[in-house]
Amino acid sequence: MLKYLIEKEFKQFFRNSFLPRLIIVFPIMIMLVMPWVATLDIRGVNVTVADSDRSTLSSRLIEKINASEYFSVRRVTLSYADALEDVDDGLSDLVLDIPSGYADSLGRGKSCKILVAVNAVNGTKGYLGGNYMAGILSGTGAGVDVSVLNMYNPTLNYRQFMIPAFLAVLIMMLCGFLPALNIVSEKEKGTIEQINVTPVGKFQFIFAKLIPYWLIGFVVLAICFLLGWLVYGYLPAGSFIVILAGTFVFILGISSIGLIISNYSQSMQQSMLVMFFFILIFNLMSGLFTPVRSMPGWAQTIAACIPPKYFIEILRGVYQRGCGFSDLGIQFAALTIFAVFFGLSAVLTYRKRA
Amino acid sequence: MGENAIEVRNLTKRFGDFTAVDHISFTVGKGEIFGFLGANGAGKSTAMKILCGLSLPTEGEGTVAGYDILKETESIKKSIGYMSQRFSLYDDLTVAENIRLYAGIYGVSDKEISPRTDKVLANLDFTAEKNTMVGSLPLGWKQKLAFSVAVFHHPKIVFLDEPTGGVDPVTRRQFWEMIYKTADKGITVFVTTHYMDEAEYCDRVSIMVDGRIEALGSPSALKSGFGANNMDDVFQKLARKAERG
């Protein structure tokens, strides 16, 4: 019986004029565009310098800052108060206050305090900008001692952090939304009535619905993997098998969530909105863009209950740190529990009787 | 299961305050063509859905093909065929693929499906359309196909919910020829319709008014009982009493 149902799902999928194109074009577009766009690398921070020293050494420092790709010096003022006005007016993100006697102190081998005032309205930009500035200052022997060690991502390349994340987003979108629309579209067309009056097993019916999404997921995975390698020269540090296994389990979970929503929905519109709600929460709370550990305690508890968190940990673990199955035991266990739980729920919530 | 294909007693279905089906009782014999008549909203489709295991009754009991309508709905589904009021085969599958899908679900063996499909399509004069997408067929053809799919697995009973709605007179005639052929094979036919000329073709008919069965018998018995010339008069006399619909 299962064979005939699976056959039907695949025929319907490939006959659709839109879906096969979607699963090819969508990942390609995201992978070609988004890694350039969604970056937290800070560039072009505007700096106003209050140089009370006016020495050769202070001018040299200003030149050095201006030469860095991260900063552009907008103006050099005489007083700190003048410099702050630039920040007030939104012209500048950062004020560097070089006190008078800066050259003198350095010449006599004493340390000298330089104030870096940062506009922290945009927290990330402010924080990173301040840190970059500290790095430059420490190189001038200005008495700032900074030591930063960037593990696993030595060049602080944000793209390496984001490529696994986009992979997760794509699989979540395609393997989550499409099943959410599937059963409910059979309800809208009325074809489900003919199916419900047959002795078809609930398990077979749901399983046949799930299988095509595995295939879709692996196509998406292959596209992302190839583009990550060909365009960005980025290959996972660990085994591809681990990624495949993680994807396999994850798709079962996320597609089941879609099917459950579809089971409860009366129209495609309703199904779409409910799924959108969940996908948004998944995107924002799974640690895709912001680390789960910096969320408040209650949010971390919620994050621990959503499947994508573990999938992203697996992807990043394998891509960046070369983790194997043994390092990702918890993540695989969690994903398996989710997959079984949601898979069974999808079968149980499918009602053959009104 | 005795001699009857369908037996129900005091079948009732309520939706909140509304009683769609109100204590109906009847039996349908094996191989009979049973017409299930009634105005729009009289409760025909609701009653039929209960018999097909798509819905549970609020009260009452009964058996379909010998299986209990409360506890053995999945067994009932194996023994029946169903043709919905609304066309519900897959538009994006071909004629042969739709047949193959449902034959497979009902457990017709793989080897058997193909020859039986060819035979059915030949009987329908449909062989040329074997690989046509169902969505592009005209309505009358779709209905004939839906009927063929419903009886493809040789069920004991076939339920037809307004099978000839919106179909031209020639096709309707052909449709009833198909129904007779099916009944000749010993398959019980349970059919709802709005066309009173079709009611004349049935072995027995029941007429539902406001959720209750107001008349039940062979067309000739009903006509003489109500002193009417044809089934249309019988229906008019009963349906005028309806308070809803």
Enclosing domain of residue A90: 45-138
Work out the minimum CA distance from B78 to partner chain A, whole angstroms. 5
Residue B21: pLDDT over 80: yes
pTM of the model: 0.84
Alpha-carbon span A242 to A152, nearest angstrom: 19
Q: Do A197 and B73 touch (CB under 8 A)?
A: no
User: Among all chains, which residue has been given the structure tokens 């591809």?
Assistant: A240
Note whether A110 and A196 are same-domain residues: no
CA of B90, closest CA in chain A: separation in Å? 6
Query: Tens of pLDDT along A209-253?
Result: 999 999 999 999 999 999 999 998 888 989 999 999 999 999 999
Chosen domain end from A110, A138, A166: A138
Do A283 and A330 lie in one domain? The reply is yes
A145 occurs within a structural domain = no
| Of B223, B188, B169, nearest in space to B66 by CA | B188
What's the pLDDT tens digit per position in B184-205?
A: 999 999 999 888 889 999 999 9
State ipTM.
Answer: 0.91
Q: Based on the fold, state whether residues A320 and A230 are members of the same structural domain.
A: yes
Please name the residue that has the structure tokens 């609701």: B46
Residues A314 and A220 in one domain: yes
**Is the CB of A199 less than 8 angstroms away from the CB of B74?**
yes
Q: What is the dihedral of CA A250, A254, A256, A259, to 10 degrees?
A: -160
Nearby residues of B212 by Cβ (< 8 Å), 6 or more positions away: B22, B23, B24
- The CA distance from B37 to B127, in Å, is 34
Residue of B nearest to A1 (CA): B105
Are both A134 and A162 inside the same structural domain?
Answer: no
- pLDDT tens by residue, A5-59: 999 999 999 999 899 999 999 999 999 998 888 766 667 788 899 888 888 888 8
CB contact under 8 A, A194 and B89: yes
Nearest to A26 by CA among A130, A134, A172, A135: A172
The B-side interface with A (CB below 8 A) comprises 49, 52-56, 73-75, 77-78, 80, 82, 84, 86-93, 97, 100-107
Residue A225 lies in a domain: yes
Regarding whether A293 and A199 lie in a shared domain, the answer is yes
- Does B55 sit within 8 Å of A353, measured CB to CB? yes
| Domain endpoint, select from A109, A138, A167 | A138
Distance from B80 to chain A by nearest Cα, in Å? 8
Question: Which chain B residues have a beta carbon less than 8 Å from that of A1?
Answer: 104-105, 107
Here the CATH number for the domain that contains residue A91 is 3.40.1710.10
Residue pair A181/A257 in contact by the 8 Å Cβ criterion: no
Residue B200 C-alpha, separation from nearest chain A C-alpha, in angstroms: 28
**Element (DSSP H or E) covering residue B163:** none
The number of domains in chain A is 2
> A11 and B100: CB-CB below 8 Å?
no
Mean pLDDT of chain B: 92
Residues A49 and A29 both lie in one domain: no
User: Is B54 within 8 Å of A194 when comparing Cβ atoms?
Assistant: no
Residues of chain A predicted below pLDDT 70: 39-42, 123, 139-157, 354
pLDDT band at B1 (very low <50, low <70, confident <90, very high): very low
Which of left, alpha, beta for B51 (phi over 0: left; psi -120 to 50: alpha)?
alpha
Select from A107, A138, A169 the last residue of a domain: A138
Among A12, A193, A198, whose Cβ lies nearest the Cβ of B105?
Answer: A198
Q: How far apart are CA A240 and CA A228, in angstroms?
A: 13
Token readout for B144 is: 């004939």
Q: Where are the domains of chain B?
A: 4-87+137-239
Positive or negative, the CA dihedral A275, A280, A285, A290 is positive
Give the minimum alpha-carbon distance from A188 to chain B in angstroms, rounded to a whole number.
10
| Residue A151 lies inside a defined structural domain of this protein | no
Q: Which of A171, A141, A146 is nearest to A30 (CA)?
A: A171
Long-range pairs of A86-91 with CB within 8 A, sequence gap ≥ 24? A86/A46, A86/A48, A87/A48, A87/A117, A87/A119, A91/A46, A91/A48
Q: Dihedrals φ, ψ of B167, to 5°?
A: -105, 145
CATH homologous superfamily for the domain B4-87+137-239: P-loop containing nucleotide triphosphate hydrolases (3.40.50.300)
**Claim to verify: residue A172 and residue A305 sit in the same structural domain:** yes
Are B54 and A11 a contacting pair at CB < 8 A? Answer: no
